[in-house]
Structure 1
Amino acid sequence: MPPTDASAKARALYAARRDRTPIPPFTDADPSLTMADGYAIQRELVAMILADGDRVIGHKVGATSKAMQRLIGLDSPDYGPVLASTVYADGATIPLDRFIAPKLEAEIVFVLGESLKGPGITVDDARQAISGARAAMEIVDSRIADWRIKLADTVADLASNGAMVTSPVTVPADDFDPRLIGMVLSRNGEVIDTGAGAAALGDPVGVVAWLANVLGGDGVALEPGHLVMTGALHAAVPMEAGDVFQAEFDRLGTVTVRVAASV
């Protein structure tokens, strides 16, 4: 497989995602692969998924904490699509057999009320375009074996997005500061981690502005109704069958997910 063959790499990821069978990191064979190469592969992969009838309903932004950026060699966040087929309702049961190596992260998710297209989008512009916020969890997953990801690998692999669980309640975001939203994560009734909105790039609203500007460079706009996942507020937590996770957010309420071996 030639190092620059984005289509072949996308087909390998597509098969890994479909069959739940991980593949070696692309960067093992070609350490020179860049973020731009990763996004070229991602675009090919998304086109294949959409051809199957799925649709993009928003975006996730990953690596919004300095710790995660250091871990995978980033100096900025990365992004990938939120696909309609991967969204679960609050209280849903998540089957492990739909993933390869899933982990859970609690996040603040914004809902866009207005179109937002960069470049030149400021944090104030993003704040005005946001209609509200929701409590949410992301299930991150890696089609790359053993999470041995480097920059190009995770970008190509939909920014390691697997699924999301979101509260049905959208809370207007014009009367509180999302940086100060506290979160408590519990597993099976035991508190296992905490976080605050500021963990996401210093300001979750700034994440939306960053995303709008990056997408705008490719002529893509955030549209009304789109969801923007703004990044983990804590370290990702492995999931096991029988687990019940609950994330309690100040202002935004609670979101719960149950984990089963299969459904």
Structure 2
Amino acid sequence: MNPTLKAVADLLWSAEQTGEAVAPVREQIEQGAQGGDVLQAAYQVQQDLTQRRLDAGGRLVGRKIGLTSVAVQRQLGVDSPDFGALFADMAVGDGEEIAWPRLQQPKIEAEIALVLGRDLPHSRHTVADLINATAYALPALEVVGSRIRNWDIRLADTVADNASSSLFVLGTRPVKLSRLELADCGMVMERRGDQVSVGAGSACLGNPLNAAVWLANVMARMGTPLRAGDVLMTGALGPMVPVQRGDVFTAHIEGLGSIRAVFER
């Protein structure tokens, strides 16, 4: 990685360690993009940060898919999703209190998580491949965050910043895909009983399995294919919501049950 991109990685690493957000990094990434491929340069920064977490003892447990909403894609001027890495220390138990200092400009969204029972090594996968490889689905909440000040992000910023990841909450009742029609799974998220987000599986590229196929193909082509045991956060089912201290969110996902995120006062 060239010195310009290394400096971007240093900035984002420091922002995560100190909790102090930084100015957007997209211009530096553009400057450091060799051959003009800004997206590839942003993923180089993400990979460098992923390796730093691994070197520090982190355990990679899966991937998250972002930008699965067509409206958000248009906002950022892109036509495909992005992805980030999930680590074991990002996982929070259903209803477990989340310490406020762990968060940076937090927002929350409800998702469907898939847990793989088989590897996905091919350069091109089908929906059938994903169905066969999925051990079960879980209701999930993703607490997103940004190391970029005031969420002033474009595609290069969020990709470099691990797809604006923070924490994730998984439910505890696994459900086989044979019992679900993921596109039709309705979702309602409430903040202490007040409805704050509504959506369905169809909001996620038409079906969360479509998002999972995209991710499986991309990861295999990058030489880091998805493996048995990986958790896939397939993307938001409805609008994400800002989080404040003391908030309690409950998401109800049809066919999967409920899940709760509790934030420290």
Q: Name the TM tier (shorter chain).
A: over 0.9
- In structure 2, how many angstroms separate the alpha carbons of the residues matched to 1:256 and 1:77? 26
Q: Does 1:242 align with 2:241?
A: no
Q: Please name the residue that 2:143 is paired with.
A: 139
What are the superposed Cα offsets for residues 20-63 of structure 1, whole Å, 9 maximum, x if unpaired?
01111112456565111110000001111111111110000000
- In structure 2, how many angstroms separate the alpha carbons of the residues matched to 1:198 and 1:147? 26
Q: Please name the residue that 2:220 is paired with.
A: 216
Runs of 5+ unmatched residues, structure 2? none
Residues 3 and 30, structure 1, Cα contact 8 Å, conserved in 2: no
Q: Please name the residue that 1:109 is paired with.
A: 113
- In structure 2, how many angstroms separate the alpha carbons of the residues matched to 1:68 and 1:83? 25
Residues 126 and 206, structure 1, Cα contact 8 Å, conserved in 2: no
Measured after TM superposition, the shift of residue 175 of structure 1 is 2.6
Residues paired across the two proteins, number: 260
Q: Which residue of 132, 139, 147 maps to 1:128?
A: 132
Share of identical aligned residues, percent? 38
- In structure 2, how many angstroms separate the alpha carbons of the residues matched to 1:28 and 1:219? 28
Secondary structure in structure 2 of the residue aligned to 1:174: helix
Q: Please name the residue that 2:202 is paired with.
A: 198
Secondary structure in structure 1 of the residue aligned to 2:113: strand
- In structure 2, how many angstroms separate the alpha carbons of the residues matched to 1:57 and 1:71? 30
Q: Please name the residue that 1:259 is paired with.
A: 263
Secondary structure in structure 1 of the residue aligned to 2:179: coil
Q: Please name the residue that 2:189 is paired with.
A: 185
Residues 96 and 102, structure 1, Cα contact 8 Å, conserved in 2: no
Aligned residue type for 1:45: L
Residues 197 and 241, structure 2, Cα contact 8 Å, conserved in 1: no
Residues 29 and 41, structure 2, Cα contact 8 Å, conserved in 1: no
Q: Please name the residue that 2:84 is paired with.
A: 80
Q: Please name the residue that 2:179 is paired with.
A: 175
Q: Quickly say closer, same or farther: Cα 1:3–1:50, change in 2 above 3 A.
A: closer
Q: Which residue of 80, 87, 99 maps to 2:103?
A: 99
What are the superposed Cα offsets for residues 204-226 of structure 1, whole Å, 9 maximum, x if unpaired?
01111110100111111111111
- In structure 1, how many angstroms separate the alpha carbons of the residues matched to 2:214 and 2:4? 29
Residues 106 and 145, structure 2, Cα contact 8 Å, conserved in 1: yes
Q: Please name the residue that 1:21 is paired with.
A: 20
What are the superposed Cα offsets for residues 117-163 of structure 1, whole Å, 9 maximum, x if unpaired?
23110111111111111001000000011111111110000000100
Residues 4 and 29, structure 2, Cα contact 8 Å, conserved in 1: no
Measured after TM superposition, the shift of residue 100 of structure 1 is 1.7
Q: Please name the residue that 1:11 is paired with.
A: 10
Measured after TM superposition, the shift of residue 96 of structure 1 is 2.2
Secondary structure in structure 1 of the residue aligned to 2:202: helix
Aligned residue type for 2:19: R
Q: Which residue of 150, 155, 166 maps to 1:151?
A: 155
Secondary structure in structure 2 of the residue aligned to 1:22: coil
Q: Please name the residue that 1:58 is paired with.
A: 62
- In structure 1, how many angstroms separate the alpha carbons of the residues matched to 2:239 and 2:30? 26
Q: Which has the higher helix share?
A: 2
TM-score (ref. length: structure 2)? 0.94
Measured after TM superposition, the shift of residue 174 of structure 1 is 1.6
Residues 112 and 132, structure 1, Cα contact 8 Å, conserved in 2: yes
- In structure 2, how many angstroms separate the alpha carbons of the residues matched to 1:207 and 1:159? 15
Q: Does 1:119 align with 2:119?
A: no
Runs of 5+ unmatched residues, structure 1? none
